[in-house]
Amino acid sequence: MTATRTFTRVMVTGGAGFIGSNYVHYLLERHPAYQVVVVDKLTYAGNLASLADLDGDPRYSFVRADIADEAAIDAAMQGCDAVVNFAADSHVDRSLHDPGGFIRTDVHGVFVLLEAARRHGVRRFLQISTDEVYGHFPQGGESVETDRLRPRNPYSAAKAGGEMMVNAYVETHGLDAVITRGSNTFGPYQYPEKFIPLMITNALEDQPLPIYGDGLQRRDWLYVRDHCAGVDLVLHRGATGEAYNLGGGNEAVNLDVAKRILDRLGKPHSLLRHVGDRPGHDRRYALSTAKAEALGWEPRHDFSILLAETIDWYAANQPWWRAIKSGEFADWYAKNYAARGVHVG
């Protein structure tokens, strides 16, 4: 039987991002006696609006800091007995333009956090990783936690590097660390550079939906709250030094997902635009989740309902994403999509 740990003060890095902000809410709902310290650099992807409802909650505090900044992390980690590291550069397409930034945060930043955790005697460190570290699994079969890591793009290579550093601290310093490898996550508060929110918001704006290559790539979609539940379970019950796959069990072809979004919003399929493919595009990911399920994880698998709920959330919360799309996003969109043959502006 695995022991269940409890904590008093949890540092959540990247807590102003998509999964991190959902997790901060989940953590405080599930463990009302915990304190949470959110540490976030507030890059283009960080958004304090996603945590605005927690302002004034005595259990919540926010520190604006880079996880690679040793002094700032050292100060913020005072009194924390657990660290959950969501902070990362997370978008594969951006890693093709600026791989150096990914290495600074997703590898060096992890090292800075681990060093601080060791010095502060943190009792548990959870590194949020990704199914992309396995590389792709073009046809049939599923990745299991003992498979070799074969990342194929700068983002996933950097995430694999972060994992290796975590393993090194478990082995050499006896740090109590665990890793989760989540699949493609979707739900409220996701930055609209990612596939599902991009398709929804472009459709709502009657803009073309850019489909890379033939659009027949497959992803395994995991609802954000299920991802958070898996993370929380591994934080409290995972075995030291182990990695746990968190997959949604919702394998779907990109083109079909885009068509479902158009159908739900009553928009025509003529908005679909096949554009130049992503270099090194991983064809398919698939995860065995037996290990997390043995720990007690029970994700909801009803993709149709969860996708519909997500579409409705973006339709109902237009100020949230319209503010993003009118800022930095516009420059990114022009840079990434004009080169792929999408008319921009």
165 to 204: interface string for ligand DAU, x by CB under 6 A: ------------------xx---------xx--x------
| Count of all residues that appear for the chain in the document | 345
Q: Which of 132, 163, 176, 282 is catalytic?
A: 132
Q: How many residues bind ligand DAU (CB under 6 A)?
A: 19
Q: Which stretch binds ligand NAD (CB under 6 A): 17-25, 283-291, 294-302, 328-336?
A: 17-25
Block residue for tokens 């918001």:
201
120-139 footprint of ligand DAU as x/- string (CB under 6 A): ----------xxx-------
Pick what 210 binds: ligand DAU, ligand NAD, none; C-beta below 5 to 8 Å, kind-dependent. ligand DAU
Q: State the minimum distance, in angstroms, from the CB of residue 13 to ligand NAD.
A: 6
- Is 219 a binding residue for ligand DAU by CB under 6 A? The answer is yes
| Closer to ligand NAD by Cβ: residue 10 or 271 | 10
Q: Which parts of 26-55 interact with ligand NAD (CB under 6 A)? A: 40-43, 45-46
Can you tell me the distance from the alpha carbon of 287 to that of 248, in angstroms, rounded to the nearest whole number? 9
**Minimum distance, C-beta of residue 269 to ligand NAD, in the bound complex (Å):** 25
Tell me if 91 contacts ligand DAU by CB under 6 A: yes
**70 counts as catalytic:** no
14 binds ligand NAD (CB under 6 A): yes
Residue matched to tokens 């993003």: 324
131 is catalytic: yes
- Pattern of binders to ligand DAU over 260-279, x per CB under 6 A? ------------------x-
> 53 an active-site residue?
no
Q: Which two tokens stand for residue 213?
A: 């290559």
Residues belonging to the active site: 131-132, 155
